[in-house]
Structure 1
Amino acid sequence: MKAIVSRSAGGPHDLVFADMPAPSAGPGQVVIKVHACGVNYPDALIIADQYQYRPERPFSPGAEVAGEIVALGPDVQQLAVGDRVIAMLKWGGMAEQAVAEATYCIKMPPAMPYEDGAAFIIGFGTSYHALKQRGMLNPGETLLVLGASGGVGLAAVELGKAMGARVIAAVSSEEKLQIALNHGADRGVVYPRKLADPKGLSTMLKEACGPGGADIIYDAVGGQYSEAALRAMAWKGRFLVIGFPAGVPRIALNLPLLKGCSVIGVFYGAFAEREPEASGQNNEELMDMYRAGLIRPQIHARFSLDQAGDAIAMIMSRTASGKIVVVVSEM
């Protein structure tokens, strides 16, 4: 089978388009004919040996796929050959076939396109877990989303509105702000791509959030932006740590003390692994929201499998609004 392959630690343009042995399913696993694979920031980290998982090489990046099951391993009973599924992997999705644990497969609604499926579960799964289990978002609260036009950020905007919040979108351009507003954000702030004045940004965020501040801050950016946002936090607010494309922040601990707030880590993959029943319930609720038209992934760009390195390079550039998808096989 054809695949994009990492043979040594490096960047997206060190990947090669090559033939790999077709996978087989072990106990509790399925083989999926991949139609589309979502691209996420950890794909850039895992090929550079900078992620928490370090697979043996050669391997393919790609942690979320949509396709159809072509083979079942022993002990798989809830799925069948021919089922259309979304699957969350650790790696291996940027290939014509991929192996997934059956417990991490979600049956797709009949009307859901494969590209939507590939762009769905990591963005919406991460954001729903963040807002529901970790942030315990209540209707009427103010939610500030940093990186609100990216894959997980835009999902947080849509979910925040679906859950009854007032949503403030913080983004790096007017174009991205318009996208966030089109997806339900109530107000927005445009911050500079290189932050020279964190206190000035804090003032902008405080003004956008209002006198009470942000009840929940969803930080998918990191770097100096984190402390600037934290200064706009409401009393007893919840600061959700999602990711660090702008660098790992260093936050003065006097700020959580003065705000009486909580700083809360969000690790969706570990949640899905450690709490499968709660994760499964989240997935059912997300699919219900998708069917109702409350949420839908925005796809910024599509790449063919042999261009998957370019897709990862685009996500590293932080220029995408929504998700990037690698289309492996057309339907």
Structure 2
Amino acid sequence: MTEGNFVDYVKIYVSSGKGGKGSSHLHREKFIEKGGPDGGDGGRGGHVYLKGNKNLWTLFHLKFVKHIRAGHGGDGGSSRSTGHDGEDKFVEVPLGTVVRDQETGEILFEITEHDEVKIVAEGGKGGLGNWHFRSATNQTPRYAQPGMPVKEVDIIIELKVLADVGLVGFPNAGKSTLLSVMTSAKPKIADYPFTTLKPNLGIVAYRDFQSFVMADIPGIIEGAAEGKGLGHYFLRHIERNSILLFLVPADAADIKKEYEILLDELRRYNPEMLDKDRILVVSKCDMLDDELKAELEKQMKKEFKGVKYHFISSVAQQGLQELKDMLWKMLNEE
């Protein structure tokens, strides 16, 4: 998937169908002059639904959709015939989709399962025909109910990426490079910050044809929780990851400080994120000789008690299989 095809935020106007009006027809045929009321009911207006689809990864198919309208219900007819129901609209969305009311910002619902269906706008109910209003004192009612009007709502559809492992780190920590060597994904890679502007997903092939999904999230900067840099735009994608993989390069000025800044940004954005399993991975270890690496490991044992950590080099393909083993074990510990 190219970066331009990854769309995770769209605004759409949704309108259900209006209900058909009931008929006020009076029965007439040869030799029956006053057959009484026989007006049928109007059909209901069409509903607008969102439906989860596990094969979709982006909202790209909705990028240029500005309006979604369901069909109107048909009017009732004579001989108590009911009008046809309006055509329902089903819009497929990826798992992890959140729907908000554009005006209030309130979350209406989330879709997290395949084939899960949620109604966005309910179609108007059809009006009753005059047959329903006959009585002993009013045997020929010449009125019927109109159909209920359409329901309109402006919604925001946003995607929170569903992945097993989310890569968290500062710009240029090597997240895209790691994703490219662990999976068949082809993210944009360059030696300047914010190369990644949209999340990239890749499937990590494991032993015995098993696999798990890894997401490369755009780099965090200090103050991201307040919206600095790409801010909330990408932090929401980390919420749905089972494991957070913190990536800090071996040439960082202070590995512990970088790790703590990343943790603090997540805590300030959503404290529940700190309850997730996490692992600290030190990248670019091909730059270290054996002596420096041994010294760094000694320092890590002292400073990161209780934190799982691992050393890798994406370029030199060092420690990658061991990292896969660690992640697979963490994902399946439960």
What band does the TM-score fall into relative to the shorter chain? under 0.3
Larger helix proportion of the pair: 1
Higher RCO (CA 8 Å, separation ≥ 6 residues)? 1
> TM-score when scaled to structure 1?
0.23
Bigger Rg, which one: 2
